[in-house]
Structure 1
């Protein structure tokens, strides 16, 4: 079972971790991008922290929906709309007015997030994007057994492994594809930020 209180605690921990690692994310992004991914993520983390600390969300669906909108409206690159789509998908499948969700409900939320993301992104596993961490994480969570801790532990592990694998990939998607072989040896910043998000959320339970 995942409660609203647990989710707030997890998101707050993730926001702190993302802000702390924003400089590293900018350094990763400077290899094949504009070098500002960490700036965008820090801005989104600040929105996350402010929303959670306000404690003004009546239920899980409202919290996720509000975060989705905040991410969508953040300026800078594609991270905001992409993260907003993931959180929006989680919100779409969350039960109305619920302050806690069961394992089955949580896994349905993860499945909806993946479906919504697939609707807006053509990126595939191996293209060296956030998908390399996101899809394995969502799939691991959808099939995990046990409680919320087990689900997020599986997601964090899968995301971290997926992000690590991107160092051995040549970018084939987005602006990063223009640098070709020069992207080898460096992890994708988008996959890395997803890994930071999910591993921090898992550790907070």
Structure 2
């Protein structure tokens, strides 16, 4: 795993919280590298909208207002529900097998550090038959912003059974080619995640 991947993973795993300052000097010491690769990594993460570059050789993990977070989730609803509907219209038995594998893998990783990788694997596999790579990239970027405001691990563990039930229900509707039911489940799933994320927004940012 390269330095950019390591810093990204630590941010998304909650080791650095939204709003935390990231000094190039401190990060270089933490990861055992020189300042130059840290600077380059932060520039890449800035392009991914995970950090905000600041004067003085530092950066800050992005923060969002409630309004900005709500906008992101509204875009997710539009883009992901559209992808799901298109995917179900094009899915094959081979796609069903891929989704079943992704469901099993993501279920094993749920509620653990790095859970978001398995969760994205499931959703990416769910949408893949739509064959809309640009739209999928937009969804990935939006979901990354949301992860910064995901519940802490204790809260996540408490919610895990509900998320897994949604994934299983989505898989069942997908294999049955019931697009309306699948989209209804996905909307509920995303709205529940939005409600959890809103709880993480400090009062002075709402």
Common fold by TM > 0.5: no
Bigger Rg, which one? 2
